[in-house]
Amino acid sequence: MLETIMDSHYIQSLPLLFKGLLWTLIITITGLILGFILGALAGLGRLSKSKILRGICTFYVEVVRGTPILVQILFIYVGLSEDLIGFNIDKITASIVAITINAGAYISEIVRGAVKSIDKGQHEAGRSIGLTEKQTMRYIIWPQAFKRMIPPLGNQFIISLKDTSLFSVIAVGELLYMGKQYYNATFSAFQTLIMVCILYLLITVPTSYYLQRLERKLDV
């Protein structure tokens, strides 16, 4: 029986699926790190007193949140390459850029909401001890706001992880694409897709559980 299990497509598909999972994690983590930087800048920009900066950041957020990520992927990989920059963008680069831009828009709202949730008295306390507005943000507001960002940032990780499955449309070797490659060659769609689902769940379920515990611990 053990030999039968080892020879099944459930097991035989794993080497290819693990390779896809690795690329899924690389794209997700890299995109989210860059997305956090972009989102933090956009989120703070939306809180700026400058109407121009606030308008630019709001435009970016509304455009990205108002269009499907699949359209964004195709625009970056096909539209930019053919019509604007004149050369082909690498599939992995296009994928990371897509996650960065998409996640950045949602993270900007996380940042903006977290900063606005800090009591105004904290701003006044910083100014009363002689800190500038930037110093107050850096040393008083941001540390408290970042604590409140952690749970929703974790949720964004799960969302972006699942969004990488859409990159199969441009033949990025992520988890779902590798699964499709395997079952197209072996005609074993059911077994392969079961394993694809299991590998996604092995990442998302522990992450969700940890985030719930962390949220209770931080009491946010």
- Token pair 């630019």 in the structure block, residue: 56
Domain-located, residue 7? no
Write the pLDDT tens digit of every residue in 166-193: 999 998 999 999 999 999 999 899 999 9
User: Is 123 within the bounds of a domain?
Assistant: yes
120 domain residue, yes or no: yes
CA distance linking residue 82 with residue 93, whole number of Å? 16
On whether residue 4 sits in a domain, the answer given is no
CATH value at residue 84 = 1.10.3720.10
End-to-end CA distance of the chain: 50
135 within a domain of the structure (yes/no): yes
Q: Taking the CB of residue 9, how many other CB atoms lie within 10 A of it?
A: 18
Please tell me the predicted confidence (pLDDT) of residue 144.
87
- What tens digit of pLDDT does each residue of 83-130 get? 666 667 889 999 999 999 999 999 999 999 999 988 887 777 777 787
Range of the domain at 74: 15-218
For residue 87, being part of any structural domain is answered with: yes
Has residue 181 been placed in a domain? Answer: yes
Q: Sign of the CA dihedral 131, 135, 139, 143?
A: positive
Percent of the chain exceeding pLDDT 70 equals 93
The answer to whether the predicted template modeling score (pTM) of the entire model surpasses 0.75 is yes
pLDDT of 150 > 60? The answer is: yes
pLDDT in tens, 24-57: 999 999 999 999 999 999 999 999 889 999 999 9
Query: Does residue 9 form part of some domain?
Result: no
Q: What is the DSSP string of 149-202?
A: HHHHHHHHHHHHHHHGGGGGGGT--SHHHHHHHHHHHHS-HHHHHHHHHHHHHH
Looking at the 3D structure of the chain, how many domains does it have?
1
